[in-house]
Amino acid sequence: MELTGAIVLVAALTALAAVAAGAAILRTRRAGVAGAPGDIARLTVQLEERDREVRQVRDERDGVRRERDTARQDLSAAQAELAAVKADHKARTEELASAREQLDNQFKGLAAGVLKDSTDSLLRQAKEQFDTQRQLGAAELEQRREAIDSLVAPIRESLEKLGEHASAIEQKRVGAYERLTTQIASLQQVAGSLSEALRSPNIRGQWAEQELGNILELSGLQQHIDYYPQHTVPVPGSVVRPDAVVSVPGGLKVVIDAKAPLDNYLKAHEAGDDGEERALLANHAAAISKHAKTLSERDYDDVVAGSPDFVLMFVPADPILDAAMKVQPTLWERAWHDHRVLIATPGLLLAFLRTVALAWQQQDMQKNAQRIADLGKDLYDRLRIFAEHMHGVGKGLDQALTAYNKGVGSLESRVLPQARRFEDLGAVSDSKRIPELGPVESTVRPIGALEADATPGADTSAGSVLPHKRSA
């Protein structure tokens, strides 16, 4: 409040100073222009106006001073009242602290007493309860131990048996592992021996020829009829002996040569790095390509009658050809286009030979069609004669059946009534009575019934084809 009054007072003094300055200026102008009546009148009016403003400002200043004095008085009274409140607050704070300290001391004393009594009572009760619970717990623990023993005993026995079984299995496993190790070592020795054996050109040739023979046998072709192993073919100044010549319907003779180039292939598997392995496989591919060129130069199509313009080169294992094509992917195509040599692995060769076998079977069926028709006609005549004989047997059986029924009727009507009198007179025992004889009602089935029961549309053609030897 005092600050506001001071601000108002400063503003009033500033305005008063401004009015005073304006009045002085007006007086100076009035003195300077004493000779101008019009200006004097105007300045006089302004001076009077300024005087009124000065009086007004002075009144405002006096009012502000009075307000300031009043505010100072109020401030002094408020300060005095605040000092009294602070002193009273301090006194009350000190009294409160003293009362709190007294209460704390009293509470501590009471709490100590109550705690001591409660602790003693609680300890006695806890000890009694603990003794009781310990006795109960001991009895219950004994019961639970017995119950657990009864439950665990079967499990313990099962675990012991399981341990014994596991020990036996472990012993068997160790023995089996030792036997397996021995077998693996033996297989490694066999593999090593086989690898060494395959390094011999003669062994490789025999292996390839044996694989070729197995596939020819598996295809269904007949040796010396459909194919000729180790067939000797004369050529000017010498002879050639392809591993097999296969006859194809139509008079064709396909020449098959078995080859197993393995030197570089086996060395590649023992190579120390990828570069050496790839170089050896490249040599392996070159060996296969060289042999294909050699087969092409033998001109089998000129020296073997019926040979087409290609030769089958048999490789006895797919990995041998796959390894070569890994470094030379166009090996197969180049052997065919450049040398007219078809490189065949076991799968491809078996498919080709099986196709040839099926073609021979179809040709045999066509050649044997007339023989099959003749055999059918002869069989039908024989069946007809047999049916006539059976028809005569049926007639005889029918006549015998009629005679039998007539004899039974005569026996029952004329003979047995007389014989029954011996039974009535007791001349024979019950076990030796004449049994009852009944007529036979069944009749002989005629041949026509058999034909009626035959399945319509049954296939009466021959179920097999007689073998037909093919010329070499």
Query: Residue type for 328, please?
Result: Q
Q: What global pTM score does this model have?
A: 0.40
User: What contacts 344, CB < 8 A, 6 or more positions away?
Assistant: 312, 313, 314, 315, 352
H helical segments located in 199-273: 201-219, 263-269
Query: Is-contact 257 242, C-beta < 8 A?
Result: yes
Tokens 């009124």 -> residue: 52
State the Cα–Cα distance between residues 314 and 256, nearest whole angstrom. 7
State the Cα–Cα distance between residues 341 and 313, nearest whole angstrom. 6
Strands (E), 74-120: none
Strands (E), 259-353: 311-314, 341-344
pLDDT of the chain along its 472 residues, tens only? 555 555 655 666 666 666 666 666 656 655 554 545 677 788 788 888 888 888 888 888 888 888 888 888 888 888 888 888 888 888 888 888 887 888 777 767 776 666 776 777 777 777 777 777 777 777 777 777 777 777 777 777 777 787 788 888 878 877 777 777 777 766 655 445 545 544 555 666 677 778 888 888 888 888 888 887 877 776 666 677 787 888 888 788 888 888 767 777 777 777 778 888 888 888 888 888 888 888 888 877 777 777 788 888 888 888 888 888 888 888 888 888 888 888 888 888 888 888 888 888 888 777 777 788 788 888 888 888 888 888 888 888 888 888 888 887 887 777 777 777 777 776 666 666 777 766 776 666 666 555 545 444 444 443 433 344 454 3
Per DSSP, the three-state class of 425 is: coil
| Angle between the N-to-C axes of helices 346-367 and 201-219, in degrees from 0 to 180, rounded to the nearest 10 | 40
User: What contacts 326, CB < 8 A, 6 or more positions away?
Assistant: 281
Query: Is-contact 261 291, C-beta < 8 A?
Result: yes
Calculate the CA dihedral of residues 240, 244, 248, 253 and round it to 10 degrees.
0
Write phi, then psi, for 197 (nearest 5 degrees).
Answer: -65, -40
The C-alpha angle with vertex 330 and arms to 345 and 336, in degrees rounded to 5, equals: 65
Tokens of 302: 């000129």
| Angle between the N-to-C axes of helices 318-327 and 331-339, in degrees from 0 to 180, rounded to the nearest 10 | 90
Nearest to 337 by CA among 293, 282, 288: 293
Per DSSP, the three-state class of 189 is: helix
Query: Is-contact 264 280, C-beta < 8 A?
Result: yes
Tokens 């069946």 -> residue: 383
State the Cα–Cα distance between residues 196 and 206, nearest whole angstrom. 14
Query: Is-contact 295 242, C-beta < 8 A?
Result: no
Calculate the CA dihedral of residues 370, 373, 374, 376 and round it to 10 degrees.
160
Taken as a whole, the chain contains a residue count of 472
Buried b / exposed e along 343-361 (16+ C-beta atoms within 10 A): bbbbebbbebbeebbeebe
CATH label, 201-367, candidates 2.60.120, 3.40.50, 3.30.310, 1.10.3470:
3.40.50
Nearest to 363 by CA among 460, 465, 219: 465
Query: Is-contact 281 264, C-beta < 8 A?
Result: yes
β-bridge mates for residue 344, sequence order: 314
State the Cα–Cα distance between residues 368 and 374, nearest whole angstrom. 10
Report the Cα 34 to chain-centroid distance in Å.
124
Query: Residue type for 146, please?
Result: E
State the Cα–Cα distance between residues 337 and 293, nearest whole angstrom. 11
